[in-house]
Amino acid sequence: MELEELQSSIGVHFRNKELLIEALTHPSVEKCPSYERLEFLGDAVLNLVVASMLYSLFPGDPEGRLSHRQSALVCKSTLAMLARQMNLGSYIYLSNSEEACGGREKISNLENVLEALIGAIFLEAGFETVACFIEKHWYGLAVQSDSIKANPKSALQELLQAKGMKPPTYSIINKLGPAHSPIFEVEICAGGKRNRATGTSKKAAEENAAKQMLEDLTAETR
C-alpha cells in the first residue's frame, strides 16, 4: 500500500516493483540491492535535464552563469528539500541501526534516494517521463534563482512566456501617505490571477507584486 501511495504521488506506476524497492533501499539493509547504482544513474539524468532546462530558460546567460545556477539546483540541500516535500523519507527501507539514528531525516539519505528514484523512473518509463518529473519539481526553483530574485518582473515575464501565457499587467490602485513619503499599492494580473502589493515607489510596489505572483505560479508547478 505504501508503494502505491508513493507511485500515485510521483505520477509514475512501476511494472517492475523490484526496481522501485531498490531505489528506496539504504545500503545498511543487508542482502538487498541498495540504491547506490540507481543513485549514480539518477545523478547523471538529473544534471542533463536541469542543464537542458536552464539552457532554454536563460538564453542570454554565459556558460559560467548557467553552471552556477545548475550547481544551486542539484546541490545536497536542494535535493533534500525536494525529497522532504515528496515525503520520500517515510518510504526508505533502513536497517534498525540506521532507523535508530534518524536515518529518515538525514540529508545524505534524502538526496541519495531522490537521485535513485530519478534513475529508477528513467529505467522504468524512459527519458521523456523522467524529464517531466524533474521539470515539475525543479522548474519553480530554476526561475527563482538568485539573479531572478533581483529582477522579479523579468522572471515573471519569462515564466509566463514559457507557459504560453500573456504578459502581466500592473495598475496603481492607491497612493497613501504624505507627498514626501508615499506608499504605492499596485494590482498585478497574470496567469488568470490577481495580486496586490505595496512599496515606497511604483517600481518597488510592482516588484513586490511580481514576487508574490511568482510564488503563486511556481507553487503550482512544484
115, 124, 206, 207: the active-site residue: 115
**Per residue, what are the HEC states of 90-134?**
HHCECCHHHHHCCHHHCHHHHHHHHHHHHHHHHHHHCHHHHHHHH
Q: How is residue 40 written as a grid cell?
A: 549514480
214, HSE (Cβ side, Cα atoms, 13 Å): 25
Contact (CB, 8 A) for 153 and 207: yes
Active site residue 36: no
- Whether the CB-CB separation of 187 and 169 falls below 8 Å is answered with no
Backbone angles phi, psi at 142, to 5 degrees: -65, -45
Judge whether 35 and 112 are in contact, CB under 8 Å. Answer: yes
Among the options 43, 98, 124, 206, which is catalytic?
Answer: 43
The Cα 176–Cα 117 span in angstroms is 52
Give the list of residues 6+ apart from residue 117 with CB closer than 8 angstroms, or none: 10, 23, 24, 38, 42, 88
Residues 145, 148, 150: CA angle, nearest 5 degrees: 115
> What phi and psi values does residue 32 have, to the nearest 5 degrees?
-135, 140
115 a catalytic residue: yes
Residues forming the active site: 43, 115
